[in-house]
Structure 1
Amino acid sequence: MAAIESGPPLDAREELRSASLTPFHWTLIASIIAATVFDGYDTLNPSYVIHYVVKPWGLSHSEAGFLVSSGLIGFAVGALAHGPVADRYGRRPVLLSALLFAGVFSVLTAALAGSFTTFVALRGVTGLSLGVIMPLGTAYINEFTPAASGNRMGTLGISGYAFGGVLASAAGIWLTPGHGWQILYWLGGLSVPIAIVLWFTLPESVQFLVMRGRHEDAAEVLGRVRPDRAGAYAGAVFGRPRDRARTVEIVAILLSDRYRRTTVALWACAFLVLFDIYGLSGWMPTLMEARGNGFGTSFSFGALLQIGGVVGGLVVALLDDRGWTSMRRGLVYLLAVSTVAVALIAAIDGTVVDVVLVAVAGFGIVGGQFVLNGLAAQSYPTHVRGTGTGAMFGVGRVGAILGPYAGGWLLGWFHDDNTVLFVAVAVAAALGALVALGLGRRPGVMAAPVAADSLI
């Protein structure tokens, strides 16, 4: 096909959305999985540190919970700040820098964190870096994935988070007995070589390149996405995406009459779902050991929770892509199922029963997080989608911060009765299901896609 030297600008976003899956997409998905693995791995590591440091450091239940929450404070700040930073410098350098800094501070945690105060301080700084990975990974997938397979590919891409949780559990079971809890953070330093590998595999955002007037670079990336149209992109000019509105203007749109109900419901669901995920994950090894399970078995429940979540998220995404259900209904089903499962954990004891119910709980709660990511992307027009999703992540991180801390407080207040924590998680899941019922019920709430796109 002849190169286009003049004529109307090409719509880069539509070129990406109408593409067929190519090796480029699978390389991108693998790159995002590799990045989000470290998000999940690092976030859930403290769950396995608690076992080793509670007595030596003389920690109360609330302080033990804060071991998990401390990194999430940095995560919340990073999740909220990622949009403006990536707008200025580009997604690629911000994501790679986050992996580099996270690896460095993970190693510093292993080497220097000999007290509660030092540990939580280093965790907070590490969280600042890791907090940008999930939002940027989601943004990458939303931009590059063809429309026909968006939900499946999106869920698969960010499933690295859950796989990271599985790796944290495996390291906790097999490596910490012989090498101490510090081995978890020495391994976290592997994000540095991963960042170096991603330097060669991760493209820059096409929208960012077009916004900066770098049309030749945008054409080069598009040519890798769609080799069959590489000739059409040579010398082409691409239509400039809609300029990103100021944050104040975007927030006004999110809270306008048309989107207020959706925004508040998404924020509430994210808060409740992440409260449950981190409240349950943070205390899972400790709770299961208190129920009479052995060390290895207790630590493995964290992995089971994450594996169940990957399955739950992929099932709903597949059903939605095929038109058999919607993301909203899928979220309601997942949270309803998890409510029953967690309530039964509180009521019934036994290792086999625990294994089945924890897997089902992960299917619903962790799977619900994956569905929320896709649901947020569907709920707003593209020029506010990045900030809307980032705001949801930020509010959700508040729930994530409070979950482990509240779990510790409840265990202390009720004298180590672990039933109360499971009941609290079940109640939060039930509330999330009720809130999700109202998503998208009113005409005009679920926004139709528009042609213009923003960077994030």
Structure 2
Amino acid sequence: MQTINANEVIDHAKLKAIHWRVILLSALIIIFDGYDLVIYGVALPKLMAEWKIDSITAGFLGSVALFGMMFGAILFGSLSDKLERYGFSRKKIIILCICLFSGFTLLCGYASDPQNFGIFRFLAGLGLGGVMPNIIALMTEYAPKKLRSTLVSLMFSGYAVGGMCSALLGMWLVPQFGWKIMFILGGIPLLLIPIIWLLLPESIDYLVRRNKTEKAADILKQINSNINYTAQTKICLDQNNQSSSQSPIKDLFADNRAMITLLFWLSVFMALVLVYA
């Protein structure tokens, strides 16, 4: 029986159309993620004037999305592998997070008071935080080994692009249409969900673990056209990908990784303090 190691095929692949599809769609999602997070600062002066809120309340409303991002990253990031047994693949979780951050950002444009606005921003934050670890994981999974860091960095640069688009659009749209137009535009990803669902490939690890061999083989053929798949072909994963730890957080501190983990957490924390303080 012929055996194909899916991870080896991806690691040694050359860039093909499927790779660019994953890169562009992932970057597009991250662009809207960055846009949705930054628009509050763009809309803030008009919003404060219309609702007559003070700076403390405005600061709180700006922070609720960050709290939502924290809980969203923890919830959707850590549960993605566990939800797999119930049929929730990484792709489905990405779509769910898009619905959350885009749908509730759209509702922010129709909020009638600060209380409803704050609730919508928190719920949007769940999607904003949840989509990032999953889209990065999917991009990492499909990137050839020698280009992995480059492609993930290229994709994640969409976050800054989204923020810049928000600022530039705000300079043009807010004076003419008011602050709500910025949040209404945040609903555009909802219209793109059918395209993302159709073109974004499923997690190859998910397909192999769920014994969806034919779908996995179809994707691998797009990555390497020389693959010869038959009914007797078995597709497997690297040993490290075949089992998940019962305590992944504990593993971050095992094998002398405690100091590295703590320093990494500290660097990310301080970066966010500098950006959002």
TM-score (norm 2): 0.91
Question: Is the 1:99–1:129 Cα contact (8 Å) retained in structure 2?
Answer: yes
Q: Report deviation, 1:99.
A: 1.4
Assess, with a 3 A threshold, how the Cα gap between structure 1 residues 224 and 235 changes in structure 2: closer, same or farther. farther
Code of the residue aligned with 1:243 in structure 2: it is: S
Aligned twin of 1:364: none
Q: Deviations over 1:262-282 (max 9, x none)?
A: 1101100010001112x2xxx
Code of the residue aligned with 1:78 in structure 2: it is: G
Q: Report deviation, 1:257.
A: 5.2
Q: Report deviation, 1:55.
A: 3.5
- State the alpha-carbon separation in 2 of the partners of residues 79 and 101 from structure 1: 13
Question: Is the 2:100–2:123 Cα contact (8 Å) retained in structure 1?
Answer: no
Pairs within 5 Å for 1:48-127: 48-87=42-81, 88=84, 89-111=88-110, 113-127=111-125
- State the alpha-carbon separation in 1 of the partners of residues 119 and 230 from structure 2: 49
Aligned twin of 2:203: 205
Aligned twin of 1:31: 25
Aligned twin of 2:235: 238
- State the alpha-carbon separation in 1 of the partners of residues 59 and 230 from structure 2: 53
Q: Deviations over 1:198-222 (max 9, x none)?
A: 1111000000111112122111111
Aligned twin of 1:47: 41
Aligned twin of 1:144: 142
Q: Report deviation, 1:27.
A: 1.1
Partner of 1:10, secondary structure, is: strand
- State the alpha-carbon separation in 1 of the partners of residues 114 and 138 from structure 2: 36
Code of the residue aligned with 1:146 in structure 2: it is: P
Q: Deviations over 1:380-430 (max 9, x none)?
A: xxxxxxxxxxxxxxxxxxxxxxx3xxxxxxxxxxxxxxxxxxxxxxxxxxx
- State the alpha-carbon separation in 2 of the partners of residues 210 and 237 from structure 1: 9
Q: Report deviation, 1:84.
A: 4.5
Assess, with a 3 A threshold, how the Cα gap between structure 1 residues 85 and 116 changes in structure 2: closer, same or farther. same
Partner of 1:238, secondary structure, is: strand
Which ranges of structure 1 fall in alignment gaps of 5 or more residues?
1-5, 280-402, 404-456
Question: Is the 2:34–2:160 Cα contact (8 Å) retained in structure 1?
Answer: yes
- Is 1:159 the counterpart of 2:153 in the alignment? no
Question: How many residue pairs get matched?
Answer: 269
Of 162, 169, 172, which aligns to 2:170? 172
Code of the residue aligned with 2:90 in structure 1: it is: R
Q: Deviations over 1:55-96 (max 9, x none)?
A: 443333332222221111111111112234432211111111
- State the alpha-carbon separation in 2 of the partners of residues 233 and 203 from structure 1: 21
Code of the residue aligned with 2:39 in structure 1: it is: N
Identity of aligned residues (%): 28
Q: Report deviation, 1:120.
A: 1.1
- State the alpha-carbon separation in 1 of the partners of residues 129 and 231 from structure 2: 37
Aligned twin of 2:214: 216
Pairs within 5 Å for 1:330-341: none
Code of the residue aligned with 1:27 in structure 2: it is: R
Of 189, 194, 197, which aligns to 1:196? 194
- State the alpha-carbon separation in 1 of the partners of residues 225 and 217 from structure 2: 11
- State the alpha-carbon separation in 2 of the partners of residues 234 and 69 from structure 1: 54
Code of the residue aligned with 1:26 in structure 2: it is: W
Code of the residue aligned with 1:73 in structure 2: it is: F
Question: Is the 2:98–2:127 Cα contact (8 Å) retained in structure 1?
Answer: yes
- State the alpha-carbon separation in 2 of the partners of residues 157 and 149 from structure 1: 12
Question: Is the 1:106–1:185 Cα contact (8 Å) retained in structure 2?
Answer: yes
- State the alpha-carbon separation in 2 of the partners of residues 71 and 37 from structure 1: 17
Which ranges of structure 2 fall in alignment gaps of 5 or more residues?
none
- State the alpha-carbon separation in 2 of the partners of residues 202 and 46 from structure 1: 29
Question: Is the 1:102–1:191 Cα contact (8 Å) retained in structure 2?
Answer: no
- State the alpha-carbon separation in 1 of the partners of residues 232 and 14 from structure 2: 23
Partner of 1:66, secondary structure, is: helix
- After TM superposition, where is structure 1 displaced by more than 4 Å over at least 4 residues in a row? 232-235
Partner of 1:131, secondary structure, is: helix
TM-score (norm 1): 0.57
- State the alpha-carbon separation in 2 of the partners of residues 257 and 163 from structure 1: 38
Bigger drift between 137-146 and 49-58 goes to 49-58
- State the alpha-carbon separation in 2 of the partners of residues 72 and 235 from structure 1: 50
Question: Is the 1:134–1:158 Cα contact (8 Å) retained in structure 2?
Answer: no
CA RMSD of aligned residues (A): 1.7
- State the alpha-carbon separation in 2 of the partners of residues 101 and 108 from structure 1: 11
Q: Which has the larger radius of gyration?
A: 1
Q: Which has the higher contact order (CA 8 A, sep 6+)?
A: 2
Aligned twin of 1:228: 226
Code of the residue aligned with 2:97 in structure 1: it is: A
Partner of 1:45, secondary structure, is: helix
Q: Deviations over 1:155-198 (max 9, x none)?
A: 11122211111111122100011111000111011011122211
- State the alpha-carbon separation in 2 of the partners of residues 97 and 257 from structure 1: 35
Partner of 2:141, secondary structure, is: helix
Aligned twin of 2:181: 183
- State the alpha-carbon separation in 2 of the partners of residues 15 and 128 from structure 1: 34
Code of the residue aligned with 2:261 in structure 1: it is: T
- State the alpha-carbon separation in 1 of the partners of residues 262 and 178 from structure 2: 43
Aligned twin of 2:270: 272
